[in-house]
Structure 1
Amino acid sequence: MKLMICSICFIIIIVNLPSTESRLNKSIHPAGCQESCGSFKIPYPFGIREDCFLNTDFNLTCDNTSNPPKTHWQGYQVLNISIEDAEMRVVTHVARDCYTSNGTKYGSFTSSATTWRSFPFSHARNRFVALGCDTIGKFTVTSHNLVDQKIYARMGCMSFCFTNNSMEDGVCSGAGCCESSIPKGLFGFNISIGSENNYTSVTGFNPCSFSFLAADDFYNFSIADLRSNSFRGTNDVPTILDWSVMNTCNESKKNSTAYACGDNSFCKDSDKGMRLDTYVCQCSPGYQGNPYLGCIDVDECHSTHNCDKMSKCVNTDGGYNCSCPKGYQGDGLRDGNGCTDIDECLDSKLNDCKGECINKLGSYSCSNSSAINVAVGIGVAVVVVIIGSTFLFWGLRKRKLIQLKEKFFEQNGGFLLQQLVEQKELTSNMLKIFTAEELKTATKNYDDSLIAGRGGFGTVYKGTLLDGSLVAIKKSKQTDVDVDEAQVKQFISEVVVLCQVNNRNIVRILGCCLETPSPLLVYEFVSNGTLFEHLHDKEEKHLSKGTLSWETRLKIATQTAGVLSYLHSQAVTPIIHRDIKSTNILLDENLNPKVSDFGASKLIAYDEMEVCTMVQGTLGYLDPEYLQTSQLTEKSDVYSFGVVLVELLTGQKAIRFNKSEEERSLAKYFLSALQENRLVEVLERRVVEEGSVELLQEVANIARCCLSLNGEERPNMKQVAMELEGLRNMGVDKHFSSWNGAELHSEEDNVYLLGEGVENYDSIKNQVVITIPTDGR
């Protein structure tokens, strides 16, 4: 919840503070610190009760002389306070440096700011920006942190340009505009501007330089900003301050008098603590308001409830119930059972009829009339004749449907599966054979609202079995195909092997349905989306805000490598997945990976080194050597894993259709950056902030080796898994080996990364799935 406090700050304070007028300008701290502390709670940052007495300079005041009124704190204008994000947005100033055409400086000034020591400038939400064509932006830090350590740092960036043609709107990378992040735990700064040539060569189109610290959503570079001697007609920019409460959630809960969270709220550990443990408070589900004062119940019945039109919504504390009217039963939910009529005539306890009971919607009626009975008797006779004819018709139709199901069951290998069960190669707890009706019921007749995903092989539905368990049901795009005996045996063989796979990071197959034209596969349901969605689809509703942490990314990479190592060397029959990509890596509620979609997998005998087969895979992840030779080996999975590892490092998609041809392939772009020592430029910002230089270099080297165009120079997945596990457990003390001296390759070597042969394009994930026929399967 964001509070715009310019015009309402006094109203809130008056409601919550003692009535004495002198209390209105007291410092605003958590309730309960001392009598004079305000109970309009911005949490007293990084502090508990003791800070209320040690600091008394946190005052919010309103300037009513302006229209509309403006809120101020320590001389800063306050634009916005966000309780939800634990942030305060204030106004800071722009530094300026101007020159005449002969190099004479005029109209220049610096910008500086300091804050109360418990309100740091946000390192995650602000950026330092310098504008100009002969500009050196200097950012100097002099402040104390919370443990009284004096911090001094100096940083900045340089921006140069000679003509308007050398710049591009929206691009701030050193030509006309440069930007930089700031250190964590910053309470004060000073900004100044320098010049190399006193603007003598650029004053014709750029008379002034500007520099400022501003919120990351405020500024987008425009060439027009360089032509003026003022920054967009103002000297002010919005800058973000952080807050949180010092201590951990667990420790604070032990001391109820110091605990900052109010009623109906919960504590959440924060990363705003500048290397100190801090936390913030949030309203519990079903509540809203200020969690530091105490949250109030949300009346869902007047906003977003899920009751159907038949039921009545009843608000409860922290939630709501859906109540069916008299004469109806069910849960009353739109996406549940709803409300259905109760047939009171079926239970004598529910009706008081002495004669015939007639059911009605929501009620019933009683009838004793003989005339009605005669009419009913005649009607029943007519109905019997009609029903008899209809029953005969539907009986014949049902028999045909049964025969068709039996045909599909046999065609899809049902009898072969039963034979394997009898021979004890499969047990009933390994694989269940579902009926078509069971899966139709589980998916509400394959309702579009239950679609969990789509891909090149078909659609995946979220289903609920009769026992309440959630499953994922894969339905093929094919609706009427003739499957030959060899294909049936291959399908059954793969199902048998997958049933015997025992790895917690592989999506477990639960069963199949063979009564449809093509088999339906039933898997365990994984609830947290795909790795692709977490890396690239930041607007997905079920995903949390922000990107995956570096620690989580390294865990996902290590566990996925372990899965491929298991498939290649530990499964009953070695398996080559053949379609490893971020959309086929699901994440559970703890962000552990689950490898899925074995529809393109290939079973390899232990004495086979390679197999000639139809080329299958996804452009951007496909092994160039496999694409060129049609020879499938386990090293093809190694290459695809290398692309996924680069995705985790860079946050970029495997194929970027909006880039130039040279940068379209992520693998080719990454190898080029490594060769030119530009690794940090291509890594995602959060990865650089959270990972050590040595560790990131080691992981990048692993990706480089996996992406070798010569399959023999790639490591096997067992080596990759061991190296990643070692890096994860021991940091960077262990150095990664070169595996036969694998080196980066030239641009010519990467020509097959964007090979031809594209047949169809998967618009769901902007991926191209290619299938190139050869003399093998």
Structure 2
Amino acid sequence: MSSSEASSITFTLLKEITDDFSEEKMIGRGGFGEVYKAVLNNGDEIAVKKLFPIYDLDDTKFDNEFSNLMSVQHKNIVRLLRYCYETKRGHTFQKGKCYFSEETERALCFEYMQGGSLSQHISKNSCKYDWPTTYKIIEGTCEGLHYLHKGRGEQHYIYHLDLKPDNILLDENLVPKIGDFGLSRLFGESKTYEISKKKGTAGFMPPEYIDYGKVTPKNDVFSLGVVIFYMLAGKKGYGHYRDALLRQNYSDKFIIDGVQESWKKKMEAVMGYRWDETDILGVRKCTEIAISCVHNNRDNRPSTTMIIEKLKKLDARIKEMLKEDPKPPMPLGKLTDLENNVKRKNCHNEDLGKYIVVDPSVELCFPFEPKRDIPCCLQLINKSGSFVAFNINTDPNKCRAQPNRGILAPLSNCYIILTLQAQEKVPPKMTCHDKAIVQATRVSKGFTSDKITQDFLKKSSAVDVAELPIVYVTSPQGPSN
């Protein structure tokens, strides 16, 4: 269902599928309403935002805001699926007199995001994921905000005014989508406004908004910069940056070098990951963007158009670097084509396995420690000029893969973080009988990851399948009971 097909839903049905808006079904609370998880009769999971009563909101205002939400359609914006707007009359008797009243119920139903909010994936030091995944989240968030500012025409731009990790949601493949437009407003002809009642979240609001109530697109750009900083260096790192800014005893290079070194140490600790020049370039450029976004003078902050242009140039440069040498640090004897460990089905097409590299290619080694989740990194490299869909199968009760499916563009790579669920005890003889299964097949440009299902793979004419056994190895600390 697309946003343009959003339809009405009765309040009675909403009460039914949320167990009368029970605490057990509640998954969030914002300034304008509470959010509940529910399942429609067709099996679709949705997030129901039950709006708080707004007594001074007339029908016209609600219709305008609803039309605003309906018109927003972008891969990095949470989709509106259903809506409820019902008014019922009631009456009460007081001191022998009958008093009539009206009660209005309003609710908006959005696609349910299985990955939760971005805030759940950020530690005090950085985003919890590997750098390529973190970069894709940064890039997707920037593209979503650019769409709100520019994607709907000059007269229909939207300012979010409360952009923060809590309002950026992730789907099952960690694709970011901007949500919660409770503070969004469509403005008229003027590009700058002054509002008396400040709305937003402390720490994410720019100084001109806090001091004077000024609203321009640069408000959201400032918030975006803070979000990127949180992903790069955590709340702690952003706090250090603001402190250094106040003391005026810092340089941009010092900040960028520090973020780069922190990410290098983080990724070198992940089994199977090799930090290289493409990662260094990505971290440094994103840190530069974050610093420019949080400039105290809004005139010195970039527009979303400028940010997207910088990211496109970065992507082009990384693509060139991968084309010249895809992840060079790995010894050639260990970097093996998928075809060396592959079972091919009906492969009458050009041999796909010759152009897809899986690394590691023989087995996945996890440094085992009891009572602790253990990550391991798997890299897929597309050396071909075609788009390739991939799917990662694991036992979800023992090992989760993020992302577990996706699309590899020509001459690109992708990292999958596999995480073993914590186990109480060391397994006998450190043995494991589980495995990860990698499936890959060529697809056309424009093919999306939500179409990668087992049914699709069964019907595909050529699918490469690589089985990678999971192996426990002794951690540097050594296993303990």
The TM-score normalised by the length of structure 1 is 0.35
Q: Map Cα deviations across residues 415-461 of structure 1 (whole Å, 9 max, x no partner).
A: xxxxxxxxxxxx99533222111101111212222222223333211
Are 1:561 and 2:142 counterparts? yes
Higher helix fraction: Structure 1 or Structure 2? Answer: 2
Say yes or no: does 1:489 pair with 2:66: no
- Secondary structure at 2:48 match in 1: strand
Instruction: Check if 1:504 corresponds to 2:59.
Output: no
What is the identity percentage for the equivalent residue pairs of Structure 1 and Structure 2? 31
Q: 1:651, 1:684 within 8 Å by CA — same for their partners in 2?
A: no
Change (3 A) 1:428 1:671: same
> Relative contact order, CA 8 A, sep 6+: which one is greater?
2
Whole-Å separation in 2 of the counterparts to 1:506 and 1:461: 19
Alpha-carbon spacing, 1:664–1:513, altered in 2? closer, same or farther (3 Å): farther
1:679 paired residue number = 256
**Residues 46 and 111 of structure 2 are in contact (CA less than 8 Å); yes or no, is this contact kept in structure 1?**
yes
**What is residue 9 of structure 2 aligned with on the other side?**
434
What is the alpha-carbon distance in structure 1 between the residues aligned to residue 69 and residue 261 of structure 2? 36
Tell whether the 8 Å contact from 1:620 to 1:654 is kept in structure 2 after alignment.
no
C-alpha distance in 2, partners of 1:497/1:590? Answer: 27
CA contact under 8 A between 2:140 and 2:176: conserved in structure 1?
yes
2:378 aligns to what? none
CA contact (8 A) 1:652 1:666 kept: no
Pairing 1:629–2:212 present = yes
- Secondary structure in 1 aligned to 2:5? coil
Range with bigger deviation, 645-654 or 672-681: 672-681
What SS does structure 2 have at the residue aligned with 1:521?
strand
Does residue 468 (structure 1) correspond to residue 43 (structure 2)? The answer is yes
Within 2, Cα distance between the matches of 1:713 and 1:584?
25
Question: Which runs of structure 2 are paired with 1:221-240 in the superposition (5 Å)?
Answer: none
In 2 relative to 1, CA 684–502 (structure 1 residues): closer, same or farther, beyond 3 Å? farther
> Is 1:602 aligned with 2:185?
yes
RMSD: 3.1
Q: Which residue of 2 is the match for residue 420 of structure 1?
A: none
Letter in 2 for 1:507: V
Cα deviation for residue 518 of structure 1 reads 4.6
Q: Deviations over 1:248-273 (max 9, x none)?
A: xxxxxxxxxxxxxxxxxxxxxxxxxx
- Structure 1 residues 687 and 434, CA, compared in 2 at 3 Å: closer, same or farther? farther
Task: Map 1:61-140 onto structure 2 (within 5 A).
Answer: none
On the 8 A contact 2:3/2:72 being kept in 1, the answer is: no
**Structure 2: distance between partners of 1:600 and 1:513:** 19
Match of 1:722 among 292, 309, 316: 309
Distance 1:668 1:581, change over 3 A: farther
| SS of residue paired to 1:536 | coil
Report the Cα distance in structure 1 between the residues aligned to 2:15 and 2:261, rounded to whole angstroms.
Answer: 44
How many Å separate the matches in 1 of 2:205 and 2:231?
17
Aligned to 1:587: 170
- Count matched residues: 290
Partner of 1:365: none
Give the drift of 1:610.
0.9
Task: Name the SS for the 1:520 alignment partner.
Answer: strand
* Superposed counterparts of 1:101-500, under 5 Å: 430-476=5-51, 478-479=52-53, 481-485=54-58, 488-500=59-71
User: For the Cα contact (< 8 Å) 1:646–1:667, is it kept in 2?
Assistant: no
How far apart are the structure 2 equivalents of 1:672 and 1:449? Answer: 49
- Aligned with 1:697 (options 284, 302, 305): 284
- Distance in 2, Cα, partners of 1:459 & 1:438: 17
CA distance in 2, matches of 1:671, 1:467: 58
* Alpha-carbon offset, residue 676 of structure 1: 7.2
Where 2:254 maps in the other structure, the secondary structure is coil
Q: Is the 8 A contact 2:134 2:231 kept in 1?
A: yes
Preserved CA contact (<8 Å) 2:124 2:236: no
SS at match of 1:608: coil
Structure having the higher Rg? 1
Distance 2:26 2:123 in 1: 20
Distance (Å, rounded) in 1 between the aligned partners of 2:230 and 2:247: 10
Mapped partners of 1:666, 1:599: distance in 2: 31
> How far off its partner does 1:653 sit?
5.6
5+ residue gaps, structure 1, are: 1-426, 539-545, 657-662, 735-777
2:75 aligned partner, one-letter code: R
Is 2:118 the partner of 1:531?
A: yes
AA matched with 1:711: R
Q: Report the CA distance shift for 1:502/1:666 in structure 2 as closer, same or farther (over 3 A).
A: farther
CA offset digits 1:376-421 (Å, max 9, x no partner)? xxxxxxxxxxxxxxxxxxxxxxxxxxxxxxxxxxxxxxxxxxxxxx
| Contact 1:638–1:716 (CA under 8 A) maintained in structure 2 | yes
Does 2:222 align with 1:639? yes
Matching of residue 571 in structure 1 with residue 152 in structure 2? yes
| Residues 466/703 of structure 1: CA separation in 2 closer, same or farther (3 Å cut) | same
> Counterpart amino acid of 2:108?
L
Secondary structure of 1:652's aligned partner: helix
Q: Does 1:552 align with 2:123?
A: no
Q: CA deviation at 1:612?
A: 1.8
Q: Cα distance, 1:623 vs. partner?
A: 1.3
Q: Secondary structure at the match of 1:489?
A: helix
1:480-507 CA distance string (max 9 Å, x none): x52243xx43332121022111201100
- Identify the residue that residue 442 of structure 2 maps to in structure 1: none
Give the SS at the match of 1:456.
Answer: coil
Question: Aligned pair in 2 of structure 1 residues 496, 731: CA closer, same or farther (>3 Å)?
Answer: same
Describe how 1:732-771 pairs up with structure 2 within 5 A: none
SS at match of 1:647: helix
**Aligned amino acid, residue 19 of structure 2:** K
Q: Distance in 1 between matches of 2:142 and 2:247?
A: 20
Measured in 2, the distance between the counterparts of 1:694 and 1:591 equals 22
CA distance, structure 2, for counterparts of residue 566 and residue 429 of structure 1: 17
Structure 2 spans left out of the alignment, 5+ residues: 87-102, 268-274, 322-481
What is the CA distance between 1:672 and its match in structure 2? 6.1
Report if the CA contact (8 A) 2:50-2:107 is conserved: yes
Q: Cα 1:682–1:495, aligned 2, differ >3 Å: closer, same or farther?
A: same
**Counterpart-to-counterpart distance in 1, 2:138 and 2:247:** 17
Contact kept in structure 2, 1:554 and 1:728, CA below 8 Å: no
Partner amino acid, structure 1, of 2:167 = N
What is the rounded CA distance, in whole Å, between the counterparts of 2:245 and 2:13 in structure 1? Answer: 47
1:710 Cα deviation (Å)?
1.4
- In structure 1, the residue matched to 2:293 is 706
The residue aligned with 2:444 is: none
Contact 1:576 1:602 in 2 (8 A): yes
Partner of 1:649: 232
**Secondary structure of 2:177's partner?**
strand
User: Distance between the aligned counterparts of 1:578 and 1:712, measured in 2?
Assistant: 18
SS at match of 2:78: coil
> Per-residue CA shift, 1:544-570, capped at 9, x if unaligned?
xx9211111111111111111111112
- How far apart in 1 are the matches of 2:224 and 2:211? 19
